[in-house]
């Protein structure tokens, strides 16, 4: 009984605090025409009851997490929710599951309308971005907040090369990747000595510098008005809008598969191990003969390649680019996709990228609250599941007893 | 007279106003087991950090000679380049890669001996595949030498303290060093484990021909193991010689016990 009273008191206090905090914005409304003040007391009641219930729920969840009583429950839930991921790891299930997925993806453009295909393409571009950033953050352990600059690099290399030399999409795609990598190396050099928070700040600044340069170098990049009428990729002949969008969808699918393939190979290699060691303990890694300079530059270049490609895809999809598409917000959204999905985990990042792009798309009615929701989602995630929705499962080198 | 592997000449390390190491001369011959002792804060680990390139020495010279007797000055070289000259170290506060298995920790140590680059990783050609197979086998052999084979698949963080210390030695040995620098390898070990460590270190020297420089506080281990001892106190070298000479040295007794 005493415990219930205590709970009620804590919740009531939270509710009171919230009511005072939000009082000016939800209760007072000034009618500027009649010069009167509307007092909307009823709103205060909603906030009060809402906070009361939510704070109770919050503490209940925290309690459950700390006592571990919820552990079993989440376990079964997890296995249900991510049965797809699990079955991929099961050898017997892999082929049927993968082929079903493949068929689904291939016929998708025939089943859904044009708008859906376009949204899916955006989501796939975001998947490539997320996987690229995952190399830098997940494998290399370097917090990079200016990733959109690499993305811009790719998009602008296609845009500018088309504008000045009329270079087609298929030539621009590898060149975009290369220019991304070069830019990655250029940014990599000055930040070699930095780590942790300092690295984050400097990369953030570089991201903004890149955007500002694009914005102000009007003679070359056309400044804030952007580059328009970039061609979509053509298949032998020029495709209709619909055809080109579907074609681009398949290109994105192919590139996502290619990205996943390369990620898996890198993760499980000498380079991957070196990056892993660097992210865990750089001094020990260096003492084991790992060249940190090389490892960091490799990380930046490898991460930037995918952003460069994604940039070319974006330019081809929207046919119009301007510096406004590559703000800090874009970097943050990619970071959110990685962290929300599970840093270092390939399926996690893919899921994260889909969530981050598709949820705002399908809930356009709530777009005013988008940032609020991401904020809440991140707070909740970092408390209840800091390792992400699908946490990383490191592949370990397991040796049998018979080997000597 | 055998070859000098590591020579430290007139070496000082200054942090702001503090002289952590003050005009020290040390040399290590090929095949020796040398101990560096001294009270806490004497500058032993600082000296290690300078030798392995974590810090840049303020004054003096540090030179390493490679098996072809070519002498290379290592002041200001990066730790990974010094490792490639054949110096490997362990850390006083264990610095294993805790999320990796014991085997993977040793595989990281093999890093400088491997070739595969980024294209090897992606295309996984034949030479990369054989190299990857080889590195697992080599790492297992090293684990076996240090009696850690049964822990190969265990995460490093789940090993016992003594096993973690041995794993650090295994990881350092994976770089195929000519000189192994051990920073308090027996810290936190029970007497039984210390005894085993004594045997292990002797075996590494005798069988692998690796020269050893160790920092240690466990005097019984130092006295039974080392052939020569250097004593540091407040950054200054106060004595050097065989264990018996050092034990009888009045300056050493004063440093450890006071007047």
Domain coverage including residue A62:
2-69
| Distance in Å, alpha carbon of A390 to nearest chain B alpha carbon | 18
Q: Give mean pLDDT, residues B106-111.
A: 88
Q: Residue B75 pLDDT > 50, yes or no?
A: yes
| Three-class secondary structure assignment of B23-82 | EEEEEEECCCEEEEECCCCCCHHHHHHHHCCCCCCCEEEEEEECCCCCEEECCCCCHHHH
Residues A141 and A280: beta-carbon distance below 8 Å: yes
Instruction: Give the chain A residue whose CA is nearest to the CA of B176.
Output: A288
Same domain, A35 and A118: no
Instruction: Give the chain B residue whose CA is nearest to the CA of A284.
Output: B95
Q: Which residues touch A311 (CB under 8 Å, ≥6 apart)? A: A150, A151, A152, A153, A154, A155, A156, A157, A158, A176, A180
User: Alpha-carbon distance A295 to A291, whole Å?
Assistant: 6
User: Alpha-carbon distance B171 to B174, whole Å?
Assistant: 5
Q: How far from A128 is each of A147, A312, A351, CA to CA, in Å?
A: 12, 12, 12
With tokens 């290619």, the residue in question is A258
Contact between chains at A396 and B97 (C-beta distance less than 8 A): no
User: Alpha-carbon distance A254 to A59, whole Å?
Assistant: 45
In a domain, A290, yes or no: yes
| Distance in Å, alpha carbon of A259 to nearest chain B alpha carbon | 11
Of the candidates A291, A394, A403, the beta carbon closest to that of B80 is on A291
Q: Which of B68, B86, B81 is nearest to B3 (CA)?
A: B68
The residue ranges of DSSP E strands in A74-119, in sequence order, are: none
Same domain, A7 and A149: no
CATH number of the domain that residue A371 is part of:
1.10.3470
ipTM: 0.86
Residues B202 and B145: beta-carbon distance below 8 Å: no
In a domain, A400, yes or no: no
User: Alpha-carbon distance A240 to B224, whole Å?
Assistant: 85
In a domain, A403, yes or no: no
User: Alpha-carbon distance A292 to B142, whole Å?
Assistant: 25
Q: In this structure, is the dihedral angle defined by the CA atoms of residues A163, A165, A166 and A167, taken in order, positive or negative?
A: negative
pLDDT at position A74, please? 44
In a domain, A88, yes or no: no
B212: left (phi over 0), alpha (psi -120 to 50) or beta: beta
pLDDT at position A400, please? 64
| Distance in Å, alpha carbon of B131 to nearest chain A alpha carbon | 10
In a domain, A227, yes or no: yes
Start-to-end CA distance of chain A, whole Å, equals 64
Of the candidates B52, B103, B137, the beta carbon closest to that of A287 is on B52
Same domain, A51 and A140: no
* B143-181: pLDDT as tens digits: 988 888 888 888 888 888 888 988 999 999 998 899 999
User: Alpha-carbon distance B219 to A243, whole Å?
Assistant: 80
Residues B25 and B11: beta-carbon distance below 8 Å: yes
Q: List strands edge to edge, sheet with B33-37.
A: B87-89, B179-183, B211-215, B33-37, B228-233, B236-241
Percentage of chain A with pLDDT > 70? 91
Would you state the structure tokens that stand for residue A314, as one six-digit string?
Answer: 């974006």
Contact between chains at A283 and B109 (C-beta distance less than 8 A): no
In a domain, A98, yes or no: no
Considering its fold, how many domains does chain A have in total? 2
Interface test with A, best of B52, B74, B97 (most A CBs within 10 A): B97
Same domain, A214 and A360: yes
Q: Which residues of B fall within a CB distance of 8 Å from A293?
A: 78
| Distance in Å, alpha carbon of B129 to nearest chain A alpha carbon | 10
Would you state the structure tokens that stand for residue A388, as one six-digit string?
Answer: 């992400």
Contact between chains at B97 and A302 (C-beta distance less than 8 A): no
Same domain, A319 and A172: yes
User: Alpha-carbon distance A159 to A318, whole Å?
Assistant: 11
Contact between chains at B78 and A398 (C-beta distance less than 8 A): no
In a domain, A379, yes or no: yes
> Over its length of 404 residues, how does chain A's per-residue pLDDT go in tens digits?
788 888 888 888 888 988 888 888 888 888 888 888 888 888 888 888 988 888 888 888 888 877 765 444 444 444 444 555 555 566 667 777 778 888 887 887 777 788 888 889 999 999 999 999 999 999 988 999 999 999 999 999 999 999 899 888 898 999 999 999 999 999 888 888 887 889 999 999 999 999 999 999 888 888 888 888 888 887 777 777 788 888 889 999 999 999 999 998 888 888 888 998 998 888 899 888 888 888 999 999 999 999 999 999 999 999 899 898 898 989 999 999 999 888 888 889 999 999 988 888 888 777 788 778 888 888 888 888 888 888 887 767 777 654 44
Residues A341 and A390: beta-carbon distance below 8 Å: yes
**What backbone phi and psi angles, to 5 degrees, belong to B27?**
-135, 150
With both helix axes pointing from N to C terminus, report the angle between A241-267 and A292-318 in degrees, rounded to the nearest 10. 170
The last residue of one of the domains, among A54, A69, A84, is A69
Interface test with B, best of A289, A293, A393 (most B CBs within 10 A): A289
Residues A126 and A356: beta-carbon distance below 8 Å: yes
Q: What is the mean pLDDT of chain B?
A: 87
pLDDT at position A403, please? 45
Same domain, A187 and A57: no
Same domain, A118 and A222: yes
Start-to-end CA distance of chain B, whole Å, equals 38
Same domain, A142 and A203: yes
Q: How confident is the model at residue B116 (pLDDT cuts 50, 70, 90)?
A: confident
Would you state the structure tokens that stand for residue B193, as one six-digit string?
Answer: 């484990």
The last residue of one of the domains, among A17, A47, A69, is A69
Q: Which residues of A fall within a CB distance of 8 Å from B182?
A: none
Contact between chains at B101 and A396 (C-beta distance less than 8 A): yes
Would you state the structure tokens that stand for residue A163, as one six-digit string?
Answer: 């504008």
Same domain, A188 and A57: no
Contact between chains at A283 and B89 (C-beta distance less than 8 A): no
pLDDT at position A81, please? 46
Residue B119: is it exposed, middle or buried by C-beta count within 10 angstroms (0-12/13-18/19+)?
A: exposed
**What backbone phi and psi angles, to 5 degrees, belong to B146?**
-100, 15
β-pairing, B59-65 with B4-15? antiparallel
| Distance in Å, alpha carbon of A14 to nearest chain B alpha carbon | 40
pLDDT at position A86, please? 57
Q: Which residues of A fall within a CB distance of 8 Å from B54?
A: 283, 287
Contact between chains at A262 and B122 (C-beta distance less than 8 A): yes
Q: Which residues of B fall within a CB distance of 8 Å from A397?
A: 101, 103-104, 107, 136
Residues B92 and B183: beta-carbon distance below 8 Å: yes
* A232-287: pLDDT as tens digits: 887 777 777 788 888 889 999 999 999 999 998 888 888 888 998 998 888 899 88
pLDDT at position A34, please? 84
In a domain, A396, yes or no: no
Q: Which residues touch A65 (CB under 8 Å, ≥6 apart)? A: A383, A384
Contact between chains at B80 and A403 (C-beta distance less than 8 A): no
Residues B37 and B215: beta-carbon distance below 8 Å: yes
Same domain, A30 and A179: no
Of the candidates A272, A284, A290, the beta carbon closest to that of B121 is on A272
A385: left (phi over 0), alpha (psi -120 to 50) or beta: beta
Q: Which residues of A fall within a CB distance of 8 Å from B117?
A: 271
**What backbone phi and psi angles, to 5 degrees, belong to B43?**
105, 15
Task: Using alpha carbons only, give the angle A12, A17, A23 rounded to the nearest 5 degrees.
Answer: 120
Q: Which residues of B fall within a CB distance of 8 Å from A289?
A: 80, 83-84, 109, 111-112, 175
Q: How confident is the model at residue B2 (pLDDT cuts 50, 70, 90)?
A: confident
Please provide the size of chain A in residues: 404
* Domains in chain B, CATH or no CATH each: 1-86+177-259 (3.40.50.300), 97-176 (no CATH)
Same domain, A192 and A302: yes
What is the 8-class DSSP label of residue A137?
I
Same domain, A118 and A59: no
């Amino acid at each position: 009984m005493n415990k219930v009273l205590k709970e009620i008191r804590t919740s009531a206090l939270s509710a009171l605090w919230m009511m005072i905090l939000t009082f000016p914005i939800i209760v007072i409304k000034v009618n500027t025409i009649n010069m009167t003040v509307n007092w909307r007391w009823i709103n205060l009641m909603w906030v009060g009851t809402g906070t009361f219930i939510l704070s109770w729920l919050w503490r209940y969840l925290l309690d459950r997490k700390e006592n571990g009583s919820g552990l079993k429950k989440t376990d079964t839930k997890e296995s249900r929710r991510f049965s797809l991921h699990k079955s991929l790891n099961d050898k017997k299930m892999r082929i049927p599951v993968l082929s079903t997925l493949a068929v689904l993806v291939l016929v998708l453009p025939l089943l859904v309308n044009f708008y859906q295909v376009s949204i899916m393409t955006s989501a796939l571009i975001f998947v490539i971005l997320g996987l690229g950033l995952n190399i830098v953050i997940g494998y290399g352990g370097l917090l990079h907040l200016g990733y959109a600059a690499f993305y811009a690099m790719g998009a602008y290399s296609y845009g500018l090369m088309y504008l000045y030399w009329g270079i087609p999409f298929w030539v621009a795609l590898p060149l975009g990747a290369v220019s991304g990598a070069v830019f990655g190396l250029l940014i990599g050099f000055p930040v070699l000595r930095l780590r942790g928070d300092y690295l984050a700040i400097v990369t953030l600044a570089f991201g903004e510098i890149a955007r500002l340069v694009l914005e102000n170098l009007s003679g070359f990049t056309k400044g804030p008005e952007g580059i328009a009428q970039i061609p979509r990729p053509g298949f032998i002949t020029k495709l209709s809008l619909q055809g080109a969008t579907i074609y681009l969808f398949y290109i994105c699918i192919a590139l996502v598969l290619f990205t996943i393939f390369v990620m898996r190979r890198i993760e499980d290699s000498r380079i991957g191990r070196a990056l892993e060691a660097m992210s865990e303990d750089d001094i020990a890694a260096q003492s084991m003969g790992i060249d940190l300079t090389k490892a960091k530059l490799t990380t930046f270049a490898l991460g930037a390649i995918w952003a460069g490609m994604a940039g070319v895809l974006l330019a081809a999809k929207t046919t119009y680019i301007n510096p406004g598409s590559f703000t800090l917000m874009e970097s943050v959204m990619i970071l959110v996709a990685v962290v929300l999905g599970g840093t270092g985990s390939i399926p996690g990042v893919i899921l994260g990228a889909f969530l981050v792009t598709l949820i705002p798309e399908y809930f356009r009615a709530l777009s005013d609250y988008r940032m609020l929701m991401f904020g809440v989602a991140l707070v909740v995630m970092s408390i209840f599941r800091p390792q992400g929705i699908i946490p990383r499962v490191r592949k370990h080198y397991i040796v049998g007893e018979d080997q000597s | 007279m055998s070859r000098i592997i590591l020579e430290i000449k007139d070496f000082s390390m200054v942090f702001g106003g503090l002289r952590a190491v003050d005009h020290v001369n040390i040399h290590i011959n090929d095949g020796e087991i040398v101990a560096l002792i001294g009270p806490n804060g004497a500058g032993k680990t600082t000296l290690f950090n300078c030798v392995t390139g974590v810090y840049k020495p303020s004054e003096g010279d540090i030179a390493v000679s490679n098996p072809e007797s070519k002498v290379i000055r290592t002041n200001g070289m990066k730790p990974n380049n010094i490792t490639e000259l054949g110096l490997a170290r362990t850390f006083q506060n264990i610095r294993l890669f805790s999320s990796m298995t014991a085997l993977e920790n040793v595989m990281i140590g093999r890093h400088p001996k491997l070739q595969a680059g980024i294209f090897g990783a992606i295309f996984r050609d034949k030479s990369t595949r054989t190299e990857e197979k080889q590195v697992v086998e080599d790492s297992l052999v090293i684990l076996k030498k240090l009696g850690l084979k049964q822990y190969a698949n265990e995460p490093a963080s789940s090993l016992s303290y003594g096993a973690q210390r041995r794993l650090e030695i295994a990881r350092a040995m994976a770089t195929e060093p000519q000189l192994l620098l051990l920073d308090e390898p027996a810290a936190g070990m029970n007497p039984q484990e210390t005894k085993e460590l004594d045997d292990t270190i002797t075996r590494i020297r005798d069988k692998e021909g690796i020269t050893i420089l160790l920092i240690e506080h466990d005097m019984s281990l130092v006295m039974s193991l080392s052939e020569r001892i250097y004593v540091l106190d407040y950054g200054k070298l106060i004595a050097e010689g065989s264990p018996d000479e050092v034990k009888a040295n009045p300056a050493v007794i004063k440093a450890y016990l006071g007047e």
